[in-house]
């Protein structure tokens, strides 16, 4: 039997010897990483730092809206081989890729991520390239341009137009661009490509059709004075692909895909469309790339004339 403790007048009980409970300390967790690979030629007359910063902001906003604390990193690739190697990494995986169609098709089987969208400048999933001359100078065919000067629009995915023209020259039995033309000049602004032909100081130029149309809106006389002596098939431009590894959750991957589909619905998304010169994001269809695949096959058949 335990005797009860009786306190005398003025006495108080001693404080309990048991320590107060210590609040649990939540372990710090590192931010999740989302890495986006981008073809350098996806940027058309755009500051790369501005464009990648806008894309990071957009993806981080998507993550925050869905409850994720996320750091977005971008990697820029110059060619398909480097892009393909990055897509196969097990450490620091690339979660998304913004890749030009020609490089996408040249990735080894099983390397490419799932294509989800193509971008368009206009209503079509790609662009035409045109070879232009002045109507009054007598240059009415490729053969007429033997030894003449060509001005090439060397920006963004312009190498796709270059490869198309090189295949066309070779298929017409004229060799390759450097041997058929007397000189080739490169420029990164449409005006510096088109106006020398308009003013008669150069014989021909290679440019994408949207740039020609814009120049024609600014100066209708340009369209009246120039003629198209060759026009490419519609060639897809950029493919947006999404991988299936390394996402914080499957839902976050789905949320990101949905947000890209609705790019035009947010201010951050519209900024990306402006910087990348995108008019629409279209759901991917395999036949969008048929003409690019055909161009690759034609170029391979012509080697060493082909330039890919």
How much is the pLDDT for 234? 95
- Claim: this prediction has a pTM higher than 0.85: no
Where do the H-state alpha helices sit in 172-249? 177-180, 190-198, 209-218, 220-225
SS3 235: strand
Q: Over range 8-33, report the average pLDDT.
A: 47
Domains of the chain with bracketed CATH = 32-121+236-286 (3.40.190.10), 129-233 (3.40.190.10)
| Range of lowest pLDDT (7-11, 114-118, 128-132) | 7-11
How much is the pLDDT for 80? 85
Q: Over range 149-161, report the average pLDDT.
A: 85
Give the whole-number percent of the chain exceeding pLDDT 70: 86
How much is the pLDDT for 303? 65
**pLDDT 10s digits, 185-224:** 999 899 999 999 999 999 999 999 989 999 999 999 999 9
Please, are residues 39 and 99 in contact by the beta-carbon 8 Å criterion?
A: yes
* pLDDT above 60: residue 16: no
Q: Over range 23-30, report the average pLDDT.
A: 40
Q: Residue 242 is encoded by which pair of tokens?
A: 């999404």
Average pLDDT over the chain reads: 85
> How far is 184 from 147, CA to CA, in rounded Å?
10
SS3 285: coil
How much is the pLDDT for 157? 61
How much is the pLDDT for 5? 38
How much is the pLDDT for 62? 82
200 backbone φψ class: left, alpha, beta (φ>0; ψ -120 to 50): left
Q: Over range 252-256, report the average pLDDT.
A: 90
Closest among 11, 92, 7, 34 to 256, alpha carbons compared: 34
Better pLDDT: 8 or 133:
133
Better pLDDT: 161 or 32:
161
How much is the pLDDT for 28? 37
């Amino acid at each position: 039997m335990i005797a009860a403790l009786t306190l005398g007048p003025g006495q108080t009980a001693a404080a309990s010897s048991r320590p107060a409970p210590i609040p649990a300390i939540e372990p710090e967790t590192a931010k999740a990483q989302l890495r986006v690979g981008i073809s350098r030629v996806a940027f058309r007359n755009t500051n790369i730092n501005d464009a990648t910063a806008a894309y990071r902001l957009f993806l981080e906003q998507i993550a925050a809206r869905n409850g994720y604390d996320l750091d977005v990193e971008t990697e820029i690739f110059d060619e398909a081989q480097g892009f393909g190697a990055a897509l196969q990494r097990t450490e620091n995986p690339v979660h998304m890729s913004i890749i030009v169609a020609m490089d996408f098709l040249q990735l080894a089987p099983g390397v490419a991520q799932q294509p989800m969208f193509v971008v368009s400048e206009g209503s079509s999933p790609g662009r035409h390239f045109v070879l232009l001359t002045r109507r009054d100078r007598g240059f009415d065919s490729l053969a007429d341009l033997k030894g003449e000067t060509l001005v090439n629009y060397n920006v963004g995915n312009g190498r796709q137009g270059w490869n198309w023209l090189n295949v066309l020259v070779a298929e017409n039995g004229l060799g390759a661009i450097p041997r058929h033309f007397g000189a080739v000049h490169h420029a990164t602004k449409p005006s510096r490509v088109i106006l020398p032909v308009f003013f008669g100081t150069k014989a021909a130029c290679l440019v994408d059709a949207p740039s020609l149309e814009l120049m024609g809106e600014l100066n209708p006389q340009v369209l009246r004075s120039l003629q198209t002596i060759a026009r490419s098939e519609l060639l897809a431009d950029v493919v947006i692909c999404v991988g299936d590894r390394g996402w914080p959750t499957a839902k976050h991957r789905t949320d990101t895909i949905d947000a890209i589909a609705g790019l035009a619905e947010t201010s951050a998304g519209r900024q990306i469309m402006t910087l990348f010169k995108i008019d629409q994001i279209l759901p991917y269809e395999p036949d969008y790339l048929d003409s690019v695949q055909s161009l690759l096959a034609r170029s391979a058949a012509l080697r060493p004339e082909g330039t890919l």
